[in-house]
Amino acid sequence: MKVEALPAIKGNYNLQDYEETYKTFDWKETEKSFSWSETGKVNMAYEAIDRHAESFRKNKIALYYRNDSRKEKYTFKELKELTNKAGNVLKSYGDVEKGDRVFIFMPRSPEFYFAALGAIKLGAIVGPLFEAFMEGAVKDRLEDSEAKVLVTTPDLLYRVPVDQLPALKTIFIVGTDVEEDGKYVDFLKHLEDAPSSLDIEWVDRNDGLILHYTSGSTGKPKGVLHVHNAMIQHYQTAKWVLDLQEEDIYWCTADPGWVTGTSYGMFGPWLTGTSNVIIGGRFSPDAWYKTIEEFGVTVWYSAPTSFRMLMGAGDEVIKKYNLSTLRHILSVGEPLNPEVIRWGRKVFNHRIHDTWWMTETGAHLICNYPSMEIKPGSMGKPIPGVEAAIVDDQGNVLPPNRMGNLAIKRGWPSMMHTIWNNQAKYDSYFFPNGWYVSGDSAYMDEDGYFWFQGRVDDVIMTAGERVGPFEVESKLLEHPAVAEAGVIGKPDPVRGEIIKAFVALMDGYEESDELKEDIRQFVKKGFAAHAAPREIEFRDKLPKTRSGKIMRRVLKAWELDLPVGDLSTMED
Ligand code: 6R9
Q: Report CA(25)–ligand 1 centroid distance (Å).
A: 25
Residue ranges making up the domain that contains 118: 22-365
pLDDT of residue 572: 56
Q: Which residues of 108-121 are buried (b: 16+ CB within 10 A; e: fewer)?
A: bbbbbbbbbbbbbb
- How far apart, in whole angstroms, are the C-alpha atoms of residue 323 and residue 291? 10
- How far apart, in whole angstroms, are the C-alpha atoms of residue 73 and residue 281? 17
15 found inside a domain:
no
pLDDT of residue 319: 94
Q: Which of 365, 399, 429 is the last residue of a domain?
A: 365
175 Cβ below 6 A of ligand 1: no
Same-domain check for residues 111 and 244: yes
Residues 6+ apart with CB under 8 A from 165: 139, 142, 143, 147
- How far apart, in whole angstroms, are the C-alpha atoms of residue 154 and residue 178? 8
CATH of the domain at 39: 3.40.50.12780
- How far apart, in whole angstroms, are the C-alpha atoms of residue 273 and residue 336? 29
* ipTM at complex level: 0.99
566 found inside a domain:
no
Centroid of chain to Cα 300: 16
Q: Report CA(335)–ligand 1 centroid distance (Å).
A: 8
With beta carbons less than 8 A apart as the criterion, state whether 516 and 471 touch. no
Domain count, the chain: 2
CATH of the domain at 529: 3.30.300.30
Nearest ligand 1 atom to the CA of 263 is: 1
Same-domain check for residues 188 and 324: yes
Q: Report CA(358)–ligand 1 centroid distance (Å).
A: 5
pLDDT of residue 453: 80
Nearest ligand 1 atom to the CA of 459 is: 24
Q: Report CA(461)–ligand 1 centroid distance (Å).
A: 8
335 Cβ below 6 A of ligand 1: yes
- How far apart, in whole angstroms, are the C-alpha atoms of residue 360 and residue 226? 8
Alpha helices by DSSP H, 157-299: 187-193, 231-240, 259-262, 268-271, 285-295
- How far apart, in whole angstroms, are the C-alpha atoms of residue 537 and residue 499? 11
235 found inside a domain:
yes
pLDDT of residue 17: 79
Same-domain check for residues 347 and 494: no
Positions of the chain with pLDDT under 50: 1-6, 10-15
pLDDT of residue 11: 45
217 found inside a domain:
yes
Nearest ligand 1 atom to the CA of 455 is: 24
Q: Report CA(11)–ligand 1 centroid distance (Å).
A: 24
320 found inside a domain:
yes
Identify residue 533 by its one-letter amino acid code.
Answer: P
With beta carbons less than 8 A apart as the criterion, state whether 362 and 30 touch. no
pLDDT of residue 13: 42
Residue with CA nearest ligand 1 atom 17: 356
Q: Is the pTM of this model over 0.95?
A: no
186-239 per-position pLDDT tens digit: 999 999 999 999 999 999 999 999 999 987 666 678 999 999 999 999 999 999
pLDDT of residue 160: 97
pLDDT of residue 6: 47
12 found inside a domain:
no
Same-domain check for residues 132 and 264: yes
Nearest ligand 1 atom to the CA of 438 is: 25
pLDDT of residue 80: 98
Same-domain check for residues 135 and 281: yes
